[in-house]
Amino acid sequence: MTTTITICDTCKLEGWDAATAGITDGEALAALIEAEVDAMGDHIKTRRFSCLMGCDRACNITIQADAKLNYTLGEFTPDAETAKGIVEYALLHAKSTSGQVPYRDWPQAIKGHFTTRHPPLNDSK
């Protein structure tokens, strides 16, 4: 099953300056995640979305798949280590039957970044 990483491309970290930045922090994180998915992301898709409404916890992403638990994560720094950890977690999410990944398997880069967990919309329970 495919897991989708949605990246907020309008996120700006504190101190972001339009005059010097060129792109938003969310755009920078999106590009890094997209490159990582291209390199290792079987069963992973990405999409950009303009505003996940988590501005206080920028940079924000979601991990989503049909019939699985879905997650929102934030307070990321747009760097290669973060992108790799997000994609590694998304791969574990894609391989799991419920979307729940044991904590012991979480990449270090995503620990402490979870904001919300959402039940599947098509859950029959």
User: Is the CA virtual torsion 43, 50, 9, 102 positive or negative?
Assistant: negative
Does residue 123 register a pLDDT over 80?
A: no
Phi, psi of 44 (to 5 degrees): -125, 135
Q: Read off the pTM.
A: 0.93
Distance from C-alpha of 91 to C-alpha of 39, rounded to nearest angstrom: 12
Which pLDDT band, with edges at 50, 70 and 90, does 41 fall under? low
Strands of the 3-8 sheet, one edge to the other: 44-49, 3-8, 61-64, 70-73, 114-118
Q: What is the pLDDT of residue 103?
A: 96
Domains held by the chain: number:
1
| In-domain check, residue 125 | no
| In-domain check, residue 60 | yes
Does residue 53 register a pLDDT over 90?
A: yes
| In-domain check, residue 124 | no
Distance from C-alpha of 100 to C-alpha of 93, rounded to nearest angstrom: 7
Does residue 110 register a pLDDT over 80?
A: yes
